[in-house]
Amino acid sequence: MAYDFAAMLQTIKDKQWSLADIDWDAPGAETVTDELRAKMAPFMADLVWIEHVGARGFASLAKKAPTPEIHEIYRYFHAEEQKHANAELALMKRWGMLDADGAMPEPNINVKMAIKVLDDYGDSLPLSGLATLIPLLECALDGALVKFLLDSVDDPVCHEVFRHINSDESRHIAVDFQVLDLIGSGPRHRLLIETVGNLKPQVIIGLIIVLVPLVNKMRDNIVAMGLSEKKLFNAVKRFGTIGSRGANTWRVPAYQVLKALAKMVVNRKHPYHRYLADPLVRLTNRIPAKWLGKPQAWTEEVTHEPVAS
């Protein structure tokens, strides 16, 4: 199937929005009660940082994009993920979730590790691996978590912000899977050589330690917010459902591996949770945050200021 990436790029350009388009002082902030604020503040902080994980992923993807148009699309997506982070931070400010000095909230340890691994290894991952990992993260977290928010919050400004974000995300997911299908249409031996040749053991171990507890940690957070883990699992399931629509996607080795992982994630009875994912959440919770060092330079681009971008 031939995809029209030029038309997609034009749509992306046409749909650009900015934080300055939103009236951050409009009524509705009072709908966030003290109880809701306390419950949601850590979730929002994680969400802001997950957007940054997405931004970092697209920055790496842009460097490996198979065509100039896809390169340009990824550059837009990189900026859009940063915009999502900033919009969510502006919502946190609106709801009184930030310190007096507007300081950036700390991400949980699993998100911190994801940022670190992407920073250290993101650029060395093969295109097919990264192009598979990003849609899984987008299905499971980036796109899904924002939908949970809308179930919990009545604030009309929040709903307006997420109309924009969800519209962006629908294009992210569409392009993610179109590129995956495009990669799958290449010669199979090249895919295998690219995958095996580039995957160093430390990268595989890094990904397991990061990715596996990241999803389960978010599940714990969602359950703590009183939401059903089923919704998260349904979001993860979309990875296999959308992937199966591409004629060539199944030929990408990384896709097969991550699809198998997604299948274990959505089956709560699978030993994967008892023996790997949940223990890894507990283990990583004990890692002192300072071991991971200072946040990397690109995380300094986070701001709740409604700058036009």
Nearer to Fe ion, 10 or 167 (CB): 167
In the complex, least distance from residue 285 CB atom to Fe ion, rounded to whole angstroms? 25
Which residue from 84, 94, 112, 273 is in contact with Fe ion, where contact means CB under 5 A? 84
For Fe ion, give the closer residue by CB, 84 or 238.
84
142 makes contact with Fe ion (CB under 5 A) = yes
- Shortest gap between Cβ of 55 and Fe ion (angstroms)? 8
- Residue 83 as a binder of Fe ion (CB under 5 A): the answer is no
| End-to-end C-alpha distance for the chain, whole angstroms | 34
Secondary structure (3-state) at 146: helix
Residue closer to Fe ion by CB (options 138, 155) is: 138
The minimum distance between CB 283 and Fe ion, in angstroms, equals 28
Burial state string for 52-77 with b = 16 or more CB within 10 A and e = fewer than 16: bbbbbbbbbbbebbeeebbbbbbbbb
Separation between Cα atoms, residue 239 and residue 262, nearest integer Å: 8
Closest distance to Fe ion from the beta carbon of 188 (Å): 29
- Binder among 78, 172, 238, 273 for Fe ion (CB under 5 A): 172
Q: DSSP letters of 124-166?
A: GS-HHHHHHHHHHHIIIIIHHHHHHHHHH---HHHHHHHHHHH
Residues 35-74 that bind Fe ion (CB under 5 A): 51, 54
Nearer to Fe ion by Cβ, of 215 and 277: the residue is 215
Please list every residue from 181 through 240 that binds Fe ion, using CB under 5 A. none
Stretch that binds Fe ion, among 62-70, 166-174, 260-268, 270-278 (CB under 5 A): 166-174
**Cβ nearer to Fe ion, comparing 209 with 262:** 262
Q: Which is nearer to Fe ion, 89 or 191 (CB)?
A: 89
Q: State the Cα–Cα distance between residues 284 and 282, nearest whole angstrom.
A: 6
The amino acid at 104 = M
Distance, in Å, from the CA atom of 240 to the CA atom of 246, rounded to the nearest integer, reads: 10
User: CA-based angle 181:140:291, to the nearest 5?
Assistant: 110
- Residue 112 in contact with Fe ion, rule: CB under 5 A: no
Structure tokens at 235: 């979001």
Among the listed residues 240, 237, 232, the one whose alpha carbon sits nearest the alpha carbon of residue 215: 232
> Applying CB under 5 A, which residues contact Fe ion?
51, 54, 81, 84, 138, 142, 169, 172
